[in-house]
Amino acid sequence: GQQVMQIPQYQHVQEGEDFTTYCNSSTTLSNIQWYKQRPGGHPVFLIQLVKSGEVKKQKRLTFQFGEAKKNSSLHITATQTTDVGTYFCAGLTGGGADGLTFGKGTHLIIQP
């Protein structure tokens, strides 16, 4: 079945440093979605990428979708304490099976 690998599992950064999480799929994706889960909370949708090579920005967050539509990344510039949480990628194959396949997430820990 489809697998979505996400690295690193944990990332400690000093406040103000940059952060990147990477997502790789074993199969080609029709789209990829990114979610953020604050400690004790539920996942909240951030963005969806659909096109090969697509790049989208949300303030300090930059999302990329690979040319082959099998990998993606989320980069945060100059992290702030409000960025703390777990970032999940979730891939949709577009085939007969419904539901997203979530990566295991990257836990971002920020030291002031």
Partner 1 sequence: DGGITQSPKYLFRKEGQNVTLSCEQNLNHDAMYWYRQDPGQGLRLIYYSQIVNDFQKGDIAEGYSVSREKKESFPLTVTSAQKNPTAFYLCASRTYSNQPQHFGDGTRLSIL
Q: In the complex, which residues of this chain contact partner 1 (CB under 8 A)?
A: 1, 6, 30-31, 33, 41-45, 48, 50, 88, 92, 94, 98-105, 107
Kind plus residue range of the DSSP H or E element containing 52: none
- Give the separation between CA 54 and CA 72, rounded to whole angstroms: 9
Least distance CB 23 / partner 1 (angstroms): 11
- For 26, 27, 39, 51, the CA distances from 92, given in Å and listed in that order, are 12, 10, 25, 13
Least distance CB 33 / partner 1 (angstroms): 6
Least distance CB 78 / partner 1 (angstroms): 26
